[in-house]
Amino acid sequence: MSSSPGKHASSSTGGQFAIPEPSFAERACTLIHSGRIAMLSSHSRKQPGFPFGSMMPYALDKVGRPVFLISTMAMHTQNLQADPRASLFVTEPDPKGDPLGAARVTLIGNVLRIPEADLAEARSVYLARYPDSTHWVDFDDFFFYRMDVVDIYFVGGFGVMGWVAAPEYSRAHPDPLIDHKIDIMHHMNANHKDALILLAKRFADVAAQDAEMISVDRLGFHLRLKTQDGIRGARIAFLREVADPMETREVFVEMVRLARQG
């Protein structure tokens, strides 16, 4: 079962329409693409029934399946050879505030040796992400493995969670701002605090003394707001979907202009 919201969610709470957000599938895909190191849990051979955790670099193939380069000497490889069922846990890098409020995703699937026909693609995507691996990729005891994803569980923060069906995940694409969001947030927080406070009042009806952008995607952004009643969050939708930093800047300028007009 998938409990991800649609691209433009339309459910309402307390008479207020939900603010459009990317689906859970897209958010999970984006988080997986932004990560580099994950926690791989395999089934322990030494202690049957217990999970065995390993820190694991990974790359992704064209449908989002994690690709690993692992040695037969490693305990996790020996575990996977005995039982391929595993999970891969990825969390948002450098979360602000409480780490339990950060986004994270768990992929569940079978981790198996990559067949000969797919080795060229696996080698290409892995070495593109980890070029230093050229020093050991051809060692006799190293092989490429891949997780065939069976199910996904996404947590977007407090109270935001749900299962994502594997086919939905494989069809999803990472958010187009994935490689620019840190720069966008830094720019807005460092140079446009007054504009963020103005946008919170105009588009979220929240009077704030301070505002910080904590997330941005193609459909909108999240703010952490300091108000006279304490800290609260707000999601604000863009006037239209954006695809790159230039379009994002244009929409912000337009929204600030509207806010100043009242």
* pLDDT, position 28: 97
> Among residues of the chain, what percentage have pLDDT more than 70?
90
Residue 15 clears pLDDT 80, i.e. is over it: no
What CATH number does the domain located at 181-261 have? 3.20.180.10
**pLDDT at residue 159, rounded to an integer:** 77
Residue of higher predicted confidence among 64 and 3:
64
Task: Dump pLDDT digits (tens) for 196-228.
Answer: 999 999 999 999 999 999 999 999 999 999 999
Residue 17, pLDDT > 90, answer: no
Q: What is the mean pLDDT of residues 154-162?
A: 87
Please give the average per-residue pLDDT across 257-261, as a whole number: 94
Average pLDDT estimate for 72-94: 94
Give residue 160's pLDDT band: very low, low, confident or very high (50, 70, 90): confident
CATH 2.30.110.10 region(s) of the chain?
12-171
Q: Is 95 a residue whose pLDDT tops 90?
A: no
Give the torsion sign (CA, 55, 61, 63, 65).
Answer: negative
As a whole number of angstroms, the distance between CA 129 and CA 140 comes to 21
Answer yes or no: is pLDDT of 43 > 50. Answer: yes
pLDDT at 8 > cutoff 80:
no
Tell me which residue of 186, 179, 147, 175 sits closest to 238, measured CA to CA.
Answer: 175
262 has pLDDT over 50: yes
Tell me how far apart the 2 most distant CA atoms of the chain are, in Å: 68
Q: What is residue 98's predicted lDDT score, i.e. its pLDDT?
A: 65
Residues of the chain with CATH 3.20.180.10: 181-261
Whether pLDDT at 170 is above 50:
yes
**Per-residue model confidence (pLDDT) at position 92:** 84
Average of per-residue pLDDT across 42-67: 96
Report the percentage of the chain scoring pLDDT > 90. Answer: 85
Tokens encoding 173: 């694409």
Long-range contact pairs involving 46-53 (C-beta distance under 8 Å, separation at least 24): 52/76, 52/79
Residue 93: pLDDT above 80? no
At residue 13 the predicted structure's pLDDT band, cuts being 50, 70 and 90, is very low
| pLDDT, position 96 | 60
Instruction: Report the pLDDT averaged over residues 81-92.
Output: 96
Between 15 and 256, name the one with better pLDDT: 256
90-188-35 Cα angle (round to 5): 15
Report in angstroms the alpha-carbon separations of 236 from 58, 223, 252: 33, 8, 11
CATH architecture of 12-171: Roll (2.30)
